Amino acid sequence: MLGVARRHWGEKVIKAVLFLAAATSVLITVGIVLSLAGETIQFFNDEAVTLKGFLTDANWTPLFKDPEFGVRPLVQGTLVITLIGMIVAVPLGIGTAIYLSEYAPHRVRAFVKPTLELLAGVPTVVFGYFALTFFTPTLLNNILHLDVSVFNGLAGGIIVGVMIIPTVASVAEDAMTAVPSSLREGAYGLGASKRQVSTRVVVPAALSGVVAAVVLGASRAVGETMIVLIAAGQVPTTSLDPRNPMETMTAFIGATGKGDIPTGSTGYKAIFAVGFTLFIITLLINTVAIRFVRRFRQVYD
């Protein structure tokens, strides 16, 4: 009466295919970590390298005749440029998100959103040359008279910030749009103004999404290679003055990787050590952010 049980081969095939799809990204991640870790261990086994020197030395000259392997200049370069980028991207990105989600009339929104997505589609190499050939000479030097070097961390950082504005704005806006309109109505019903509704109800309710947007932006800034390679230069330095050239971890990896260093040399292995360091820094940022989001999440349903 209930029919004969059929063998659901189709179901099984689909399940297996979908599992493979999910497993692929996990396997690739594991593979990357393993290959990074292997070369990194070899790097530290090299007699010219010590872990203490790697963490504390102030000079990064892996390709010199008497190499020094202090990673600090690269880490500092990355942090300074990321910080400048976030100073640009967080206020502009979150401001854009609040505007689009709470204030913008339909017609303005219909124009601004695609434009923002266009900005997200600009190749970073274009951003890099924009920074090098227009932003630094014309805006920073001729108009603002900041007297910066041709290659400098300021232009790199600001343009990295511009690059991540769409990411921050779009993720934060999604989070704000997802806040139920009943919460807004409740606040308006109590006599709150639009600004109060935005800042006291919508942003707090969307906080976990807003933080996710900022972290995603920060991760992209930390990992950005092309812009900083072109615009910020390749001078590892412990100077914090962003008007000078600086080199980030990614710029070192990019520049050295395309160069002609012999495979297996210490300089070659240094690429992986720096990559591993970058991986750990990004992991730290993400972990802290996830904790923050869990702690301050506002559940509204």
Question: Which residues would be at the binding site for another protein (CB under 8 A)?
Answer: 105-106, 180, 182-193, 196, 200-201, 204-205, 298-301
**Which H or E run contains 105?**
none
CA-based nearest residue to 210, from 169, 249, 244, 181? 169
What sign does the dihedral 194-114-182-300 (CA atoms) show?
negative
Query: Which of 134, 296 has the CB closer to another protein?
Result: 296
**Which H or E run contains 240?**
none
**Minimum distance from residue 193 beta carbon to another protein (Å):** 5
CB 236 within 8 A of CB 77: yes
CA 237, CA 257: separation in Å to the nearest integer? 20
**Minimum distance from residue 90 beta carbon to another protein (Å):** 23
Both structure tokens of 237:
């330095």
CB 234 within 8 A of CB 73: no
**Minimum distance from residue 183 beta carbon to another protein (Å):** 6
Query: Which of 105, 123 has the CB closer to another protein?
Result: 105
**Minimum distance from residue 199 beta carbon to another protein (Å):** 10
**Minimum distance from residue 231 beta carbon to another protein (Å):** 42
**Minimum distance from residue 208 beta carbon to another protein (Å):** 11
Query: Which of 117, 185 has the CB closer to another protein?
Result: 185
Query: Which of 31, 204 has the CB closer to another protein?
Result: 204
Both structure tokens of 125:
């190499």
- Give Rg (Cα) of the chain: 24
CA 254, CA 78: separation in Å to the nearest integer? 14
Query: Which of 97, 187 has the CB closer to another protein?
Result: 187
Query: Which of 177, 196 has the CB closer to another protein?
Result: 196
Q: How many CB atoms lie within 10 A of CB 55?
A: 13
**Minimum distance from residue 101 beta carbon to another protein (Å):** 14
CA-based nearest residue to 101, from 211, 215, 205, 192? 205
Q: Taking the mean position of all CA atoms in its chain, how far away is CA 32?
A: 19
Q: Which residues pair with 60 in a beta bridge?
A: 69
CA 159, CA 220: separation in Å to the nearest integer? 12
CA-based nearest residue to 166, from 219, 119, 216, 224? 119
Query: Which of 142, 193 has the CB closer to another protein?
Result: 193
**Minimum distance from residue 295 beta carbon to another protein (Å):** 13
Query: Which of 138, 193 has the CB closer to another protein?
Result: 193
